[in-house]
Amino acid sequence: DAGVIQSPRHEVTEMGQEVTLRCKPISGHNSLFWYRQTMMRGLELLIYFNNNVPIDDSGMPEDRFSAKMPNASFSTLKIQPSEPRDSAVYFCASRRDKDNEQFFGPGTRLTVL
Amino acid sequence: SQQGEEDPQALSIQEGENATMNCSYKTSINNLQWYRQNSGRGLVHLILIRSNEREKHSGRLRVTLDTSKKSSSLLITASRAADTASYFCATHLKGAQKLVFGQGTRLTINP
């Protein structure tokens, strides 16, 4: 298995632009999680899905952030418009419901200028 | 405030020594997990301890859990340079499907 796949690995954009991050979870995993990691705030859960349905989006910082999971093998996290304070590493993780362990992707390093 | 807080924030030891990291949390948990993150990489699951367990071993890792004190410790014995990484505790809260991560301990093993 290739593990959790995220793209792009690095993204540099200018303030005001739309950014779309992509994630392919491990096949057979029911839950998908989006995290953001910064030096100041550590690892924060933004949103998680179970069976493609958003369960808890209380960590989404504001309306500029949105996430979708149209099917079991794909999810997107969109920021529109982006701001410099959105600069961070964004991780996607997936898990099978009967297990507790989360499997993390390699992350997308986002820089908003 | 953070559910899980690690102590110390940074630890530097010589290769071959043991490394101990601590984690404290605030609310009731189903289990507590430890993850490792190498620089520039995603987190990797190391070990899980359930709320009804007190100690667990996996290779050179030993985890303890004291639910009365709401604390856990991760011991890495006979450390190696490859153990250099950040280590995070994550609590699986009762009634929730999500994990809450601490701020992490940055461990450096000097050759």
Model pLDDT for residues A13-71, shown as the tens digit of each residue: 999 999 999 999 999 999 999 999 999 889 999 999 999 999 999 999 889 999 999 99
Q: Which residues, 6 or more positions from A20, have their beta carbon under 8 angstroms from its beta carbon?
A: A76, A77, A78
**Per the structure block, which two tokens stand in for A93?**
């993780």
Of A31, A45, A104, Cβ closest to residue B42: A104
What does residue B98 show for φ and ψ, rounded to 5 degrees?
-105, 165
Alpha-carbon torsion, ordered B13, B14, B18, B19, to 10 deg: 20
User: pLDDT digits over B12-47, tens only?
Assistant: 999 999 999 999 999 889 999 999 999 999 999 999
DSSP annotation of A101: -
B42, A91: Cβ pair inside 8 Å? yes
| Residue A33: closest C-alpha in chain B | B98
| Residue B47: closest C-alpha in chain A | A101
Candidates B23, B41, B97, B101: best to mutate against A (most CBs of A within 10 A) is B97
Share of chain B above pLDDT 70, in %: 96
Chain centre to alpha carbon of residue B74:
5
CA distance A50 to B98: 11
**Per the structure block, which two tokens stand in for A34?**
């989006």
